[in-house]
Every structure is written in structure tokens, then in C-alpha cells.
Structure 1
């Protein structure tokens, strides 16, 4: 079955480029469309090839462009290159490398951030095109990957210098579509029928950290960027206690009244941080550095350096104020969206950093954590 009109994940386009480059090496003819078996799901996709070029007798390059469908994805229309070269000697039939724009795993000695599904997709498609004894080296390149990565929280979770080829499926399943929200709501409804206390996690890193500190996995609910409607749903379902557990660069947006946290719709992180730094009493020059920081993590690092150099306590003061503001804005948001302007739902917030270390817990979160862990 061929999917039409669907969006696909980056590994699918990388695989299509690699197939087209290998085809050029073998036949010296360009492909205009490549059919990719997605494996997961058991369907196929037809991927247009933008350009194919022979770089030498033993090397070719092919280019596709990412199309995640209707997803508000920063990789939309970004070029994806695959360079394929005949390899000599003994070893694996297909060697996969990450080139420019492919992130590196900090905790993996600089290993390319090309994960399980992408590895499997490339290996299976390319291996079947090789004769016995033939070997190739495939280098995946994202020319815009390094700059695009600055607009993500990849570095917060140990992937630096580019984007990762991540995912478990070939179909793009954006966290910002109504269909995805329906999935999250169904999960919330099921868990709210069993527990009065739940934990909202924006992403996979929050889910993983929450499990590691001892929170019952059955009480964890993924929200992605849909915090606003998920909070209202929790109140309607009668949830009594709710812990918000998230990366600080995402969760702090709630302190500014932003309840859909996708960066394409709203950001405000530097404005929020600069405001609370000002309220805490930082110098104007220091606030300017915070405001000019490229990421929330960079701003946090700067605050930590100030604390280390001046024996101050800015991180604790600033982030405690932000956490309390999150709790307050959440309660206000829920009341404003309730039918009678009242709510019995109690919320607390926990923020963690790029190393998955907790920065701060609000007062309410400290109370709820004691019950949940």
C-alpha cells in the first residue's frame, strides 16, 4: 500500500537519498522517485529525489527534502543528503555515518545520533541492493542541521552539533495535531479513572526521568505541547492532584501564560527568564546576557556561573519564582476554563535541566512528590 498525502520522518528521506545515490553508482542513471518500504508501519512511501550527482567513480550524492506533512516541524522542506561510496576490504556490508548537521551523542563518545529505526531502515534497504561481498559507506548529511538544532532542545538531552535521526515509525506523527491530542486525552481518561494523582510529562525525557525517580509509570501522562487542553481535561475528569514535570525550557513558558508550548506558536523563554531575573535583582548587564542567550540552557549556565563566581543564589531565587508562577498561572487557567469558575485540582511543577537533573520543585510539587515517589 502506498500512502499519499502523509508526512514522513527524517529517516525515510535519508533512506530514499541513499537508495538513489547507490542506484547512480551502479547504473549511472538518476532516479526521480524512490519507493521506500517503511517497515513500521507495513506500508510504502514514494519519495521524490531532488538531485543526484556522481562525485567520483566510486562515490555519489543524492538529495531529498523533508516533508513531515501538516506537522509544524522545523525540518519541513530541509534538504537531506546521502553520500554513498564503495568500500574496500572486509567488514559490514553497509556502514552508516553521520556527516555535517547530524548530531553527536555526548554520552556516546561522539557517536552519530542515528538511532534504531533509521539504522534498520537504511541497513535493510541498502543490503538488499548489494551483491555478495559488496560493501558501501553511507554518510547522511543535513546541511541546515546545525543551525536548526539551535532551535530545539536537542542539546538539553545530550545531542549536540545537529539534529538526530530519531523515531520508531516512518510516518510523521506530530505532537501538535488534533489527532495526537485525542490520543493523549484517551490516555489521560484511562489513567484518571484509576488515580486521583497524576504526573504530566511534556516529552520522553520527562517520562524517563519520572520513572527513574520512582514515580509509578501508570500515573504518568504524556502531554507534548498540549498542556492547556490537557489541564482542562484533567479538571473535568476529577483529578485531584497534578504534578507538571518538564524540561525548564518548555515548562517555564507557562509562567508567561503560554499553554501551548510548541515554538512555532509561541516562545517567550528569554522574556520570561529576563523578567524574573530583573525581579530577583540582577544587574542590568547580567539581565542583558540572559536576554541575549540563544537557549534557556545557556541562560541557566550563565546564572550558575554567576552563583559560582559570586557565591550568590540566583538560580534558586529565579527558578523558585518561576516555579511558583507556573503553579499560580496553571490554577488560574484551570479556573478560567472550568464551567463554574472553580476547581479542586492542585498543581505543582518540577523543572529539570539538560542533564536531567532537577533544578527546582515548587512548594506544591514538594508535597506531591512525597506522595507519588
Structure 2
């Protein structure tokens, strides 16, 4: 398996695993033998081989399974058994996809797959069709059922429920390759959440950094679940997509530390991207006329929360200024988008510390 420049091992998407299993199963049904390893072609043209975990014939069909290797990425589906069953379909039916156990079904509009269809994304569908055509010499008439053992439980750790995908996981992938720590699946889920909200004509969406801020924001505005976009640390991923796919009103909510980083220009709010600049936070305290002793204490504070507590005790709360700065950063990303924007800051208990907006960007 290829390693990145940081020596992290890349892995395979569920779409690649399903394609390999489908090709092996179809070969087993057509010729009686299951190639092991089985080779497929990724969307970028690379040929890769997968070992089979199991295979067999069942009734008038055949099946094969591949264990997903996500490389060094902390993927919830790492180690999952992706199984594909194939059986011949009626003449002229082409390739028909079905969701087996552990694979979800789409129930809301706005996703690349319409409601009622199994949650097998367009690129994996194309990969599977191509693999089957390579075996048959033409597109065959075949029913393809994709299953993931334990997929229902794994799906609880994804955003599928919020996107209206019920019953299990999605079969994902655009390149066939998982890049470690790229968080591409999370960002893609954020984008799909925006798509669903727009398809439902929701006038107001909210992106929050975590569960506490999400619950507080939702309670404050009475928003439906479909309006809540699980932004996490990916403020830039959400805001840039909203600039191209606008919604009438956008709320960004989070704890004081994450929102301080946004106010300081961070669009990836994860700690690995850097810490909030305490000197700049102290300068902000000076700007609101905090005494020199308070400014100096904030500059030496061990955390943003401690700095906020110092300022609050001195009667010079930082919240409103940070909220205004976070709003300005988000506004700059949304530039040209016709929408209203507000920013909410919460403490660890979910109590509102400060807000700015809503105001037009």
C-alpha cells in the first residue's frame, strides 16, 4: 500500500472494496472461479489487487467479501467486511443495485442518489459497472447487493442519520483511495448536509463545533435536525461550500476556544493546526480598555477559557469582541453570498457567552 510523504499508509474506500468483491463474485457466477487476489481499476487509472476474505455460491447467485483496509486513517469502517452478492437479472435490466444488511437507503432529497435508492454513491456505482463489464465484455443484466457486516452500528458514528440515510452506511469514494487524516468523508458529509437543507428549502442552517454548542444552538432557534450541519473543526469546509451553495441564514456556533481561533483567522479549528494566539487575545482585551494587569495576565493564561475567566472577573468580557471577530472571518469567506450570518459563543455548559448578528455578509 502506498505511503504519503508523512509515511502514513493510504487505504481503500468502501467503494473500492465493493468493486473488488463484485468483480470476484460476478467472475465466480460466470465462470465458476473466484479470482484471489482480484484486480480492479480505480477512477484515476491505477490497477490494484484485493485479497478475498471469503466467497461462495448461494442459490442462483454468487458472493464475495473483502475486508476494508483504511490504512492509517482513523476510519470507522476500517476492518469492515464488505460483501457483494450477484445474481442474474431480467434481460435488458442492466445493473441494478440493492442495499443489503448494513448499507443504508436514501430517504431525503438533495443527495447524489435519489430517495428510495441504496446509499451507493455514483462513483462506486460506475466502478462496479465497469468491473462487471470487464468480465462480461458488455454491461450485464445483474442484481448487485452490497452488505457491510455491522454497518448499522457503524453508521451511528457517521452523519448518515442526519442526511436521511437509514439502515446503515454509505458506499463512498471518488478516487477509490483513503488519504490518512484528510477527513474527506466528514467534509463531504457536511457538503451533503447543505445539499439536503437546500433541497428541503430550509431558510436557516447552523454549523457547530460540537455536541454542546449544537444542542444549545438548536434549542435557541428551534431548528429542525436537517438544519444542523455537524461542522466540527471544518469551518472553512462549510463556509466555502455555503458561498457557492447559499442558504438564507447561516449560524456558526461553538465554544470560546474554537471561536477565538476562528476570530484569529483559523478555518481549520483542530488543535493540530495550531493554538489560539494568547498575545492577540491580550491585545483584544487592551482594545476594550482592560487594565494593563489584566492584559498581562491574559497574555500568560494557559488557555482561552482561563483568559475569558480573567477578563470576566475584571469586568471586561472578551466574548462580544471575539464573536464580532469570528463573524468578520466567516463573512470574508462567505463574501458574495446573499445571506444573513450570526455567530454564537457558548461555555462548556452550553450557556450563551456572546453573539454577533444576524447581519448581512
Q: TM-score, normalised by structure 1?
A: 0.55
Task: Tell me whether 136-145 or 168-177 shows the greater mean CA deviation.
Answer: 168-177
List per-residue Cα deviations over 1:123-163 (Å, max 9, x = no partner). 11102212569532111111211111111111111211111
List per-residue Cα deviations over 1:189-219 (Å, max 9, x = no partner). xxxxxxxxxxx9993246658999xxxxxxx
- In structure 1, distance between residues paired with 2:262 and 2:139: 63
Q: Cα 1:297–1:365, aligned 2, differ >3 Å: closer, same or farther? A: same
Structure 2 residue 286 is the aligned partner of structure 1 residue 347: no
Report the equivalent of 1:310.
Answer: none
Partners of 2:342 and 2:357 within 8 A in 1: no
Q: Which of 61, 68, 71 lines up with 1:69 in the alignment? A: 71
SS of alignment partner, residue 96 of structure 1: strand
- In structure 2, distance between residues paired with 1:132 and 1:47: 23
Report the equivalent of 1:203.
Answer: 190
Report the equivalent of 1:17.
Answer: 21
Instruction: Give 1:246 shift.
Output: 7.7
Q: Tell me which stretches of 4 or more aligned residues in structure 1 moved more than 6 Å.
A: 209-212, 271-274, 332-336
Q: TM-score, normalised by structure 2?
A: 0.57
SS of alignment partner, residue 70 of structure 1: coil
Report the equivalent of 2:40.
Answer: 36
SS of alignment partner, residue 35 of structure 1: strand
- In structure 2, distance between residues paired with 1:55 and 1:209: 38
Q: Cα 1:123–1:341, aligned 2, differ >3 Å: closer, same or farther? A: same
Instruction: Give 1:247 shift.
Output: 5.7
Q: Cα 1:365–1:113, aligned 2, differ >3 Å: closer, same or farther? A: farther
How does 1:93-242 map onto structure 2 within 5 Å? 93-107=94-108, 108-130=114-136, 135-176=141-182, 203-205=190-192, 208=195
CA RMSD of aligned residues (A): 4.1
List per-residue Cα deviations over 1:334-361 (Å, max 9, x = no partner). 67622623367711489xxxxxxx9986
Work out which of the two has the higher radius of gyration on C-alpha atoms and give 1 or 2: 2
Q: How many pairs were matched up?
A: 248
Instruction: Give 1:122 shift.
Output: 0.6
- In structure 2, distance between residues paired with 1:65 and 1:111: 24
Task: Tell me whether 74-83 or 108-117 shows the greater mean CA deviation.
Answer: 108-117
SS of alignment partner, residue 85 of structure 1: strand
SS of alignment partner, residue 138 of structure 1: strand
How does 1:291-330 map onto structure 2 within 5 Å? 326=255, 330=259
Partners of 2:16 and 2:173 within 8 A in 1: no
List per-residue Cα deviations over 1:74-98 (Å, max 9, x = no partner). 00000000001123x3213322222
Partners of 2:129 and 2:139 within 8 A in 1: no
Structure number having the greater helix percentage = 1
Q: Cα 1:16–1:137, aligned 2, differ >3 Å: closer, same or farther? A: same
- In structure 2, distance between residues paired with 1:61 and 1:209: 34
Q: For structure 2, which runs of at least 5 residues remain unmatched after alignment?
A: 4-8, 109-113, 229-250, 265-274, 285-321, 332-339, 345-354
